[in-house]
Chains A and B, each alone.
Chain A
Amino acid sequence: MTNHQPVNIVMIEDDEGHARLIEKNIRRAGISNRIHHFTDGTTALDYLYQSPEGPAQNGPALILLDLNLPDMSGIDILARIKAEGSPLKRTPVVVLTTTDDKVEIQRCYDLGCNVYITKPVNYESFADAIRQLGLFLSVIQVPDIGDAD
């Protein structure tokens, strides 16, 4: 984590249960960063780009993204974040979804996703994966938004 500003975790996940489980396990990994949770794509994008507290305006962030959202596909959000000229281009995106289709995975990496994790149905594996993600988050360096461009 950067020393001058805490990294916000933006979680875009339509399933409340999954969100709760993810949050629980991240906390268990010892991550105490603030987690902003959104259950649909529209409000999430609004927060990312428009909110004065959002990462586009204010400070580094890390995005946890589910692909199956009610109002749009997570792929669209990913494409928008990683598009040329986007202020969030360098913001790390972790795709965390149930889909393990090879084509889908390839597409996400092509679009610039940084990590792709399939949610294991088996809870022990799931908890394990999220905890490891937490550990990963504790060592990962996130660029300041000011560094962008």
Chain B
Amino acid sequence: MPQTEQTQSRFTRRVMALVAIGFLALIAAGVATAWLQARSQQMGNWVEHTLGVQARLADFASANERVETARRGVLLGGGTDFRKRMDLAAGEARAALDDIARVTADNPRQARRARALRDLLVRQRELQLRSISTTDARRSAAQGAFEDDPAVIVTRQVRDLSRSMIAEERKLLAVRQVEQANALATFYAILALTGVLLVIVAAITLTVMLRYTRDLTASRIELRRLNQGLEAMVDARTAELQRANQEIQRFAYIVSHDLRSPLVNVMGFTAELDAARKTVSAHLDAVEASSPELVAEAVRLAVREDLPEAIGFIRTSTQKMDRLINAILRLSREGRRNLMVESVDLDALVQSIVDSLQHRVSDVGAEILAEALPALTSDRLAVEQILSNLIENALKYLNPGRPGVITVRGHNEGDRVVLEVADNGRGVDPRDHERIFDLFRRSGAQDQPGEGIGLAHVRALAYRLGGLIEIRSELDRGATFRLSLPRVLKPGGE
């Protein structure tokens, strides 16, 4: 059914498309995940970087404060202890600033600030060293003028700058944290979207497949039902046919029997009539001998010619009718005979037919060639009747102008056996190829005795054996009868 095929291909296309969409969604989800993962990693790195910068800045700031504190200690007359502490803190601040400069190289604003810081730090160092190396006399002045101390001012500037750097980093951190959160949110969104897509695709696929499976089941049930119906129908038809066939056989049987009965009368009373005619004829002879004038010409004609002629026609016609009835009877009886399926030795069978015909074969100067024949399991009697009819026919319709050659050959064709009876006789006009198998029909010159029964009988037998018979022939080119039978006839198979 083309419609089903169309539905099927549409279904396949739909399912394939859905599966493809599902896989595409999965791949997209994978790619997105990988990309987002990389991005979030990057974000994390940046956040970490910012945190590191902040820590370093804090270090720097605290070192700076400690430098200032130590310097004040020195100025207030603290010993070398303060001086050492100041140098240490200054070293730390420088190192921290170096780190900061390095890690903020990517940020031009911070880098500028770092450079400014470095300049300030150099200047601060200079001022600080100068402030502590001044004489003790001036130290007190310096003590009193913290407010004006340039070192303090620079320190303040350093403090401000580093604070603004921290603020900048904090801002960056905030931005990066937001970015990270955004990336994560995008990731979850894509994941959710993919999940939803997958669920939808799965649902649609499942629905389509369920519907298709349901349709399939329904159509299978329908098919089974139809199949069973078909079998029942075939059984019914076969039974009907067999009944019809039996009916015909029975009909043929009854008709031929009932036709026989009147025929007995026709023939019987014709014989009685003939006997009576003979009596009258004898009397007429006697009268004619004694007194011929008493015998009228018409009476003589009636007794001597008309009556014998009429009786003769009645006789030949009834005899012919008797033969026809017998033929029908034989066919019907053959149709009702139970087949005996057995292994048939075709070679021996053909040989026995040839032997039985030997007398006629030598009379007409023909020869019969029997080739090796395949094995066959069938009804022996029926096969024998078919072959003997065919061979007899071939012998009957030879061409008198040339020596007759009749060949019997056979071969296997799949699970069938093909038997051929070929002759070089007068052949059959192609127009008559069907007709010759009909009952009481004959072809060609009617110079041979026969009622047109043989081939009808052959065909009926062939059909009963599950076989086929056909003829290949042209006028005057010989004829080949081709009989195809199942190699093994199933018992009871009609």
| A68 with B264, Cβ < 8 A, contacts A17-B269, A21-B269 known | no
B272-283: CB near A (< 8 Å → 1, else 0) gives 100000000000
Which B residues between 225 and 265 are near A, CB-CB below 8 angstroms?
253, 257-258, 260-265
Residues of A within 8 A of B261 (CB): 15, 18, 68, 98
| A90 on the B face (CB < 8 A) | no
Least CB distance from B395 to A in Å reads 28
B260 contacts A21, C-beta separation under 8 Å: no
B268 contacts A126, C-beta separation under 8 Å: yes
A99 contacts B265, C-beta separation under 8 Å: no
| A27 on the B face (CB < 8 A) | no
| B267 on the A face (CB < 8 A) | yes
A36-79: CB near B (< 8 Å → 1, else 0) gives 00000000000000000000000000000000100000000000
Stretch from A105-113, A117-125, A131-139, A140-148 forming part of the interface with B? A117-125
A127 contacts B264, C-beta separation under 8 Å: no
A99 contacts B257, C-beta separation under 8 Å: yes
A127 contacts B271, C-beta separation under 8 Å: yes
Interface size class of B (residues with CB under 8 A): 20 to 34
B257 contacts A122, C-beta separation under 8 Å: no
| A34 on the B face (CB < 8 A) | no
B312-355: CB near A (< 8 Å → 1, else 0) gives 00000011001001000000010000000000000000000000
Residues of A within 8 A of B257 (CB): 68, 98-99
| B412 on the A face (CB < 8 A) | no
| B69 on the A face (CB < 8 A) | no
Which B residues between 270 and 320 are near A, CB-CB below 8 angstroms?
270-272, 318-319
Residues of A within 8 A of B264 (CB): 15, 17-18, 21, 98, 119, 121, 123, 126
Which of A68, A99, A101, A123 meets B268, CB within 8 Å? Answer: A123
Give the complex CA separation of A122 and B269 in angstroms. 11
| A123 with B322, Cβ < 8 A, contacts A98-B261, A98-B264 known | no
| A15 with B265, Cβ < 8 A, contacts A24-B272, A68-B257, A98-B257 known | yes
Give the complex CA separation of A102 and B319 in angstroms. 23
Least CB distance from A103 to B in Å reads 10
Give the complex CA separation of A21 and B271 in angstroms. 10
Residues of A within 8 A of B319 (CB): 122
| Nearest-CB residue, chain B, relative to A17 | B265
4 further A-B pairs in the complex, CB-CB below 8 A; given A15-B262, A123-B271, A126-B268: A21-B265, A119-B264, A122-B319, A126-B267
Task: Give chain B's interface residues, CB within 8 Å of chain A.
Answer: 253, 257-258, 260-265, 267-272, 318-319, 322, 325, 333
Task: Give chain A's interface residues, CB within 8 Å of chain B.
Answer: 15, 17-18, 21, 24, 68, 98-99, 101, 119, 121-124, 126-127
The list of the 3 closest CB pairs from A to B, nearest first, reads A17-B265, A123-B271, A21-B268
